[in-house]
């Protein structure tokens, strides 16, 4: 957990927008989001941090963020949470949420 927690803390302390996705490998909705998350990461490049957290590997982080369903998304900028939602999302919505805080 320490490396993921460190990566998350470093991203949140930075000035770039951060999109966090909490997912479970067994979740069918999460599986459908994987190619969308890959495309989002490619489109954003180094303009935003995209962090995916497997809840089975990092249950402590799931508890800290109060995640109740999968996938769950958060957008942060300068350490402040700007958006939070759960469920499958189209690429355009995730991209829009990141662009709003740039």
Q: Is the Cα torsion angle 86, 38, 5, 3 positive or negative in sign?
A: positive
Q: Identify whether 52 is a catalytic site residue.
A: no
Look at the block and give the residue holding tokens 């989002």: 40
Is there a contact between 48 and 19 (Cβ–Cβ < 8 Å)? yes
Is there a contact between 21 and 32 (Cβ–Cβ < 8 Å)? no
Active-site residue (options: 4, 16, 27, 65): 27
Residue of 98, 74, 100, 96 whose CA lies nearest to 85: 74
Q: Identify whether 30 is a catalytic site residue.
A: yes
Active-site residue (options: 30, 40, 61, 97): 30
Task: Please give the positions annotated as active site.
Answer: 27, 30
């Amino acid at each position: 957990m320490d490396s993921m927690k460190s990566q998350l803390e470093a991203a949140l302390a930075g000035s770039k927008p951060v999109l966090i996705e909490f997912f479970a490998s067994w979740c069918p909705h999460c599986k459908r989001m994987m190619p969308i998350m890959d495309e989002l990461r490619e489109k954003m490049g180094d303009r935003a941090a995209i962090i995916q957290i497997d809840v089975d590997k990092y249950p402590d982080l799931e508890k800290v963020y109060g995640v109740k369903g999968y996938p769950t998304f958060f957008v942060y900028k300068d350490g402040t949470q700007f958006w939070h939602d759960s469920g499958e999302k189209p690429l355009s919505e995730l991209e829009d949420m990141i662009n709003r805080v740039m």
